[in-house]
Amino acid sequence: MRPMAMVTDPVCGMRIDPDDAVASAEHDGTQYWFCSEACRDAFVNAPGESPERLTLEDLAARSGASAERIRELAGLGILEPDAGRFPRRDVMRARSVAYLETLGIAAQDLAAALASGHLKLGYLESASRRHPRAGVTHRELAGQLGLAYESLERTYVAFGLRRPDPDERVREEDMAILQVLSVLMGAGLAEDDVLRMARVWGESARRVAQYLPHYFHATIEEGFRRRGLGDNAAYESAVRDVGVRVGASGEDLLGWLFRRHSETYMTAHQIEHVETALEEAGLRLPAQQGPEAVAFADLSGYTELTEVAGDEVAADTSIAFAALVGEVANEHRGTVVKLLGDGVLLHFSQPADAVRASLDLVARLPSRRLPPAHVGIEAGQLLYDEGDYFGRTVNIAARIAAQAKPGQVLAGESLVAAVDPEGFALQEVGEFELKGLSRPMRLREAVAASRGGP
């Protein structure tokens, strides 16, 4: 069986097999294929043109259904023949009905919902794709890469993807990515090192992919529902008027953001190598590398806000807080490590930046109509792995934050020893018992210079 050739819908960016395309069009001598008629119409700006029609036999062959089944679905009104020929979109409809039946949804019920106007199937034109496959199985590919099949399997799982069947042919789009494994392991990386990388990439992409349908439903579709459209009609309108016009921008956005962030971090890494080379050549004294710092910031009263105002207000508050934290981190050379709903962990290479950023954050919260925050900062050695920071310093910062009052920034002993206050003062507030420490810690409150500091 020949591998299916993959093409890309020029409007939405979906990768499809030409036999699965709902429509096609020629432009400037080039043939284009589309996952839906909406994408074709957006491309040629000619809604209403008659798409290519298929015979019953062609439809059966492409959809994987029997000719008898195609007649049955046409009789139910799910498929829409005209003079014995079917639109290409009915390939996807027939496959989608078959899939929905595996979930216990009967074709007769689908037909009834279609007839009543409650169900639309236009958005299923781009569902039930048969992903183009390469000519090798996962087991064979592992052998070609010089890996045990179990290593390939563990990599898929680390990426957050379905565990592959060893005798299933590999997706064509997976081939180039999986070739990277042999490069990494050929360079001497242990399997655990590769799996750590895969987990970071997989979790980051999974969270974005999981959020997008939620955002589309709760935000974009909601505007159409407010106009009085039913659920299915609102979704189809949102896909047609927004989703298709936005096209592949989600994937483009991820690529753009990755390039922009990579530019910052890779440049910093390259400079470190230049500095190391100069030091090894004796051209300047080794730089004195001080301790790094982390800051924990939590919104005060977030739980009570959720109970009184409801989850929607709390969610809006969390989003606004995250936006402000991102701004403050960027302005003070910090990094947002993770957001925790009502809290955030920030990392700073320079401890003094951690203090100034924390003071800036608590000062700007009222202007955003956000609750006050309490912040704990500590400096010291940090462990970094899989996109997160760990260790004693992080734990102490969190416990210091728990001692702070709303609007207060408290600093630990190691941070105080690591900074020369500039633009702020560190005022002693007393000794505190912190969990996990054998003796009380003397904490100081960071105060902006405008509040009476030096």
CATH no. for 7-126: 1.10.1660
Host H or E run for residue 156: helix 149-158
**For position 398, what pLDDT does the model report?**
92
Residue count of the chain: 454
Which residue stretches of 35-79 are H helix? 37-44, 56-63, 67-75
Assess whether the region 7-126 and the region 292-451 belong to the same CATH fold. no
First to last CA, the chain: 78
The residue with tokens 């734990």 is 395
What parts of the chain have a pLDDT lower than 70?
A: 1-5, 11-15, 38, 42-52, 121-130, 244-245, 247-249, 275, 284-289, 306, 341, 450-454
* Parallel, antiparallel or unpaired: strands 30-34 and 23-27: antiparallel
Distance CA 386, CA 11 (A): 35
Tokens, residue 391: 């260790």
Chain centroid offset of residue 123 CA: 23
Distance CA 341, CA 420 (A): 33
**For position 297, what pLDDT does the model report?**
95
Phi/psi of residue 332, each to 5°? Answer: -120, 25
Tokens, residue 437: 């420490």
CA-atom Rg of the chain in angstroms: 29
Distance CA 324, CA 235 (A): 32
Distance CA 341, CA 27 (A): 49
**For position 4, what pLDDT does the model report?**
46
Fold category of 292-451 in CATH: Alpha-Beta Plaits (3.30.70)
**DSSP class of 366:** G
Tokens, residue 356: 């100034």
Q: Where are the domains of the chain?
A: 7-126, 133-246, 248-289, 292-451
Bridge partners, residue 343, by sequence: 298
Predicted model pTM? 0.64
Distance CA 301, CA 304 (A): 5
**For position 124, what pLDDT does the model report?**
61
Pairs from 189-194 (Cβ < 8 Å, separation ≥ 24): 191/151, 191/154, 194/155
**For position 356, what pLDDT does the model report?**
96
Q: Report CA torsion sign: 182, 183, 184, 186.
A: positive
Distance CA 19, CA 94 (A): 14
With a CB cutoff of 8 Å and minimum separation 6, the contacts of 366 are 372
Distance CA 200, CA 50 (A): 46
